[in-house]
A and B are shown apart, each in its own frame.
Chain A
C-alpha cells in the first residue's frame, strides 16, 4: 500500500502546485475565481487523502471546511462581488505571462532546493508535502505581487493560505482547534477585505489599487 499512498498524495499536492500556476497566468476575473475553486478542491482532495492515509479522522473536518468555505462559499461570494462591482470584463496586466511563469518555476525549484536538503531524515511524504506547500505559498505571494486588481490580490492571498493548510496537514501535528481558528480567521479576513473592496469602490469608482496610490499623490 505504501507506494500507492505516497504516489497519490504526491499527485494531489503536485496538482495543487499546477493549479497555482494556472492562477498565475489567468487574467480574467471569472476564470480566476473558477481556478481558485479548483485550487480549493485540490486542497480538499489532498487533505482528505491525508486523512485517509494517516487514519486521522479530524483531518476530514479540515477537508470539509476547505470544501465548504474555500471551494464554494468564497468563490460564490467573490462572483457576486464582481457582479455587483461590474468589473467582470476587466483585464489586468502588470507583468507579462512569460516572465511570471518563469519566475514561478524558479520559485518551485527554490522551494525544492531549500526543503529537501534540510530535512533528510524526515518522513518522505512530509518532505515532499512541505516542499509543495512552500511552492504554493510562494506562488500565492507571486500572484499578489503581480496583480493590480484588489479581487485578484484576495485570490492570491487565499491560495497562499491553502498552501499553509497543506503544510499543516502534511506535518501530522496541527490540532483541530488551530485548524478551525485559522479557517475562521480567513473567513473574517475575507469579510473585511470584501467590505473594504466596496468602500474603495465607493470612493474611487474602481478597485484598481493604482487609484489608491494616485490618491496619495505618489508616483508608481
Chain B
C-alpha cells in the first residue's frame, strides 16, 4: 500500500540503542522545516516510548487500548478443562474445582470461549495500554503508544498506535527494537523501512536479521549507519553485496552524543544535517516511484 507521493517510512533496528529514535526524530524535524505541519511522528516503541523527550509534544488526546480476555461463569462451567488444554499461552487453568484466568498472559485469541462446550466463557474488555496524540511546539503531529505497566504483550498497543498513520501526511514510524511481533506490527504500516545500525559485527548480525524480516514482509529497506567510523567494514560490505542502499552515515562524534543527552535531535543542534536528512526521504520517495513504475 504505497501512500502516494508521501510514503510512510518506518525506522527500525535489529537491536536497541543503535540510534533509531535519534534518526526518526531528526528526520521528522528536518522534514517539518521544509513542509511545516505536514509531518507525523509515531512512536511505536510502546514498552519504552521516548521520542517525546526529544520532540516535547503537548498531548491533547488519549485513547485506551483494550483487548478481550475470558471471564468464566463458574455456575455454568463443568470443569472439563478443554479451555486450559487448548490455550497456547497458559492463560486459563482448571485446577481441580478452581478455574483461574491470567489476563496478563492472554493473547486475546478467543479459543477458550470457542471450545467451551457449555458456553461458560464470555470475552470481556481489558485495558492494556493507551494511545496518545498531540503536537510538538514546531508543529509535528505526534502519536505514541504506551503499554500499561506490568503488562507483557505489547503487540495490541503497537497495532493500535501504528494504525494512527495519516496517509495524507509524511509519516515517520519509530519502531521498537528487535525483529519480533511488535517490530513487524510497526513496520507493516509503512511503505519503506529504514534500518539503523552500528558498523560493528554485533550491529551487522542484528542488521541481517532485520533485513531478512523486511524481505519476508516484502518491504523495501535501506540502511543508516550510525556512529560511522568505529568498528569494521562488515556492514558496508554486506550492504554492497546484498544491493541495499546506505542512505546516510552519521559519524561517531562526541558532540552528537552530547546534544542527544541534552534532548536535542540532529536537526535541532546541527542545522547542516537538515538537508542530508531531507535528502534521505527524497531518496526513499525516488526509489519507491521507480519501483512502482517497474511493477506497473
Do the two shown chains form a genuine complex with each other? no
